[in-house]
Each structure stands twice: as C-alpha cells, then as structure tokens.
C-alpha cells in the first residue's frame, strides 16, 4: 500500500478520536484514523452514558447529525439518597444546565457515520500499530490493515486517543513523563437488566450496607451498580441475591422500590484514578483515556475526553492553518487543569458516598458530614451541580 500523507494521524477511532477528526474536517484539515478494534466491537461496547452540557453542544457540530437530542434523555438532576432519604439536586434551578443520558456506543455510531460521509480514511481492525519520529515535524504511524496490507501514514502531528492500553502513551520518554495513580479499596458490581427505569434521574445511594447507583441505559434496559470488594467474582452473586442487595441499599421510609427484570450482563469494575503528564511530546498529543482515567462516580470519563478535544482541535487548527505553533504549546497545561478538577470531584463523590471497612469510625462519620454539609447548603448544592454538569469546554 502506498504511503498516506495527512495533516493529523489519529490513533483511536472511539468518540474522542472521531470527534477530533470531524472538527478538523470542518476546518478544512485532513486526517487519517486507525483503530485496532472493529467497527462492530466499538458500536456494541456498553460504557458511560451521562453527557455534560458541553459534550452535548459538541455533538451539535455541523455535519454530525447526532441523535442525542431526539433519542437521548435530558436529566435535570440527580437524586442523592442517604439511608433511604432522597435529596434531589435540580440542575436547571441551581445553575441553569442539564445533563443527557445517551450511551457512548450510540455516540460512536453517530460519529462513525459522520466520518463516513466525509469519505476520509478510517481503518478499523488494524494490528501491530507503531509510531515514530515524534521528535520531528514528520512523525509517522504504521499498522497492518484488516486485509493484511502494510499501512504507513506520514503526518505533521499524531494524536493518541487509543485508550490506556494503546501504544501512543509509551512513546513519551520516561524521563519526560510522570504518572499519578490512586487505587480505591472497593469495586462496583454492575448489571445490565431488561426493565423500565426505576426513577426519572440517576440515584446515588449511601447506606450502611454500602453504595449503590441506579443508572439508566434506555427505556427498556437499565444499568445498576453496588459497591463490593475488588476480589468479588461475578459467580459469587445469583440474580435473586443481586436484586435483594440493590433493594436493601435504596430502601427508605418513602417505600421506594426498584423496577426489576432479567439480568443480561454482570461485571466487576475496579476503581482507579490515573493521570499521565505531560499530555504532549514533540509532535505527539494525547487525549482521553490514553492520558487519564477516573472512577465513574462523577460521570467524567467520556466528558473529559471530549473536553481534551475541545482544547486540542482549535490548537491544531491554529497551528496548521495559521502557522501558530505556539497554540499547541499550552495544550497539556490547559487540559490537565480540567483533568485535576475532574479527579478531585470524582474522588470527592467516591469518598463521600462509599463506605470503607478500612476507615475508622471518625473518618466514616466525617465523610458523611461532608456530604450532608454540601446537601444542606445552597452553595454546596450549586457546587455539586456545577461539577456534575461540567465546566465550560475549551
């Protein structure tokens, strides 16, 4: 296969990579996208579903034709339950914003269709992805296509949106990078079930038995989680035991009951936070999970990836169209500023809502006091609403 020449080579065809490719295309900048996963694998992988207001606005870019406003569900708040007593946060009245429930795999379907309409190259199911010369102004990406042909992409810039296990992050020299890591002492046991929604908004419940999240996926499929030990096996829990545990963790004097149904998937999700700095080196730039991961308590994972793109896209456009190389110099600093705000909020939510058998009685009561102090304060409720719906992008 002949060598492809492009402005930006993007490694990773998930929502972050495809969103970046589309924003560049709208500005007249060419890109080539590669991913080791197949189109169908990405389209059928169920992941995060809550979109911040800024992420929804990004999906409104010309040419995407996203279904988020027609098939997604606007959520005007969340319900935080403490020992069965609900505390509703009304986002519009607190800060004038909302969030949207729209699964990540559906975002990918929208963006992949938009990419296909541009007729620009996207290679799925590639193998042996490598990159090099990132210290120069002519970096390259190589891979083997699904048809077994060698692919070489010569670009001005390379963007790694290839997740935490991709090859891009490893290209930053060890002496130049620093990793910040935190592992939490618990995990989430998650289920997908065929049932109607149990509530109009997501429920975050703290009880003496531990944390539970009653989330949603669609009108007929729901996602729910409860706190468990990291060494829990999926086979440890029967369906009846799962429903009993979830109900016990949300039960309260109001008589609230979950809508139940057949469980179609079970998983155990470990809790970790990680940040890799810097998010750039030479002609290479990282975005999304390749640079940072957060626990899902604050609904920040995909939204952080889109926020990275909202900073990186205009910087690349300025560098390539206006020869403003300095526009890219501050990318990592600007992106990680938001990353650490999101890490703080995710950590805060996780620690306030979960019980930890390793904590002494003082710390357990202190974290509950922190949660109550926020919910009992107009300023605290606005703070929670602002963090959850997201800070301005870009």
**What amino acid positions are annotated as catalytic residues?**
75, 204, 296, 300, 388
Task: Tell me how far CA of residue 165 lies from CA of 40, 109, 111, 229, 277, in angstroms.
Answer: 19, 22, 22, 24, 16
Q: Which residues pair with 153 in a beta bridge?
A: 4, 141
Please state, as a whole number, how many other Cβ atoms lie within 10 Å of the Cβ of residue 322. 9
- Hey, which residues does 87 pair with through a beta bridge? 80
Q: How many beta carbons lie within 10 A of that of residue 248, not counting itself?
A: 15
Q: Are 249 and 211 in contact (CB under 8 A)?
A: yes
Cα 128 to Cα 293: distance, rounded to the nearest angstrom: 24
Question: Measured between alpha carbons, how far is residue 276 from residues 58, 290, 295, 304, 331 in Å?
Answer: 25, 8, 15, 14, 14
User: Backbone phi, then psi, for 199, in 5-degree steps?
Assistant: -155, 165
Contacts (Cβ under 8 Å, ≥6 apart) of 199: 79, 214
Report the alpha-carbon angle 225-215-345, nearest 5: 80
């Amino acid at each position: 296969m002949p060598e492809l020449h492009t402005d930006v080579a993007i490694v990773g065809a998930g929502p972050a990579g495809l969103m970046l490719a589309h924003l560049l295309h709208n500005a007249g900048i060419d890109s080539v996208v590669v991913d080791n996963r197949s189109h169908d694998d990405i389209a059928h992988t169920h992941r995060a579903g809550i979109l911040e207001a800024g992420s929804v606005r990004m999906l409104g870019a010309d040419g995407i034709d996203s279904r988020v406003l027609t098939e997604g569900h606007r959520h005007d708040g969340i319900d935080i339950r403490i020992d069965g007593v609900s505390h509703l946060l009304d986002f519009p009245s607190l800060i004038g914003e909302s969030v949207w429930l729209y699964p990540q795999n559906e975002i990918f379907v929208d963006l992949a269709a938009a990419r296909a309409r541009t007729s620009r190259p996207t290679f799925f199911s590639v193998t042996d992805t490598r990159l090099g010369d990132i210290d120069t102004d002519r970096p390259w990406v190589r891979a083997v296509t699904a048809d077994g042909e060698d692919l070489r992409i010569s670009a001005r810039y390379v963007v790694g949106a290839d997740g935490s296990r991709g090859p891009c992050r490893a290209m930053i020299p060890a002496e130049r990078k620093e990793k910040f890591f935190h592992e939490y002492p618990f995990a989430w046991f998650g289920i997908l079930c065929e049932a109607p929604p149990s509530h109009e908004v997501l429920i975050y419940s703290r009880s003496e038995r531990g944390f539970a999240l009653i989330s949603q996926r669609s009108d007929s499929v729901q996602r729910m989680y409860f706190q468990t030990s990291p060494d829990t096996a999926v086979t440890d829990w029967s369906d009846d035991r799962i429903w009993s545990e979830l109900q016990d963790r949300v039960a309260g004097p109001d008589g609230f009951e979950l809508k139940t149904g057949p469980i179609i998937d079970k998983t155990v999700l470990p809790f970790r936070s990680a940040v890799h700095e810097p998010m750039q080196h030479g002609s290479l730039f990282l975005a999304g999970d390749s640079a940072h991961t957060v626990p899902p308590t604050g609904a920040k994972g995909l939204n952080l990836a889109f926020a990275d793109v909202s900073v990186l896209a205009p910087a690349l456009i300025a560098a390539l169209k206006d020869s403003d190389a300095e526009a890219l110099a501050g990318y990592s600093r600007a992106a990680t500023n938001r990353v650490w705000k999101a890490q703080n909020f995710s950590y805060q939510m996780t620690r306030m809502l979960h019980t930890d058998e390793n904590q002494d009685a003082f710390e357990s009561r202190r974290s509950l006091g922190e949660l109550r102090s926020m919910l009992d304060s107009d300023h605290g409720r606005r703070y929670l609403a602002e963090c959850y719906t997201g800070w301005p992008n870009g």
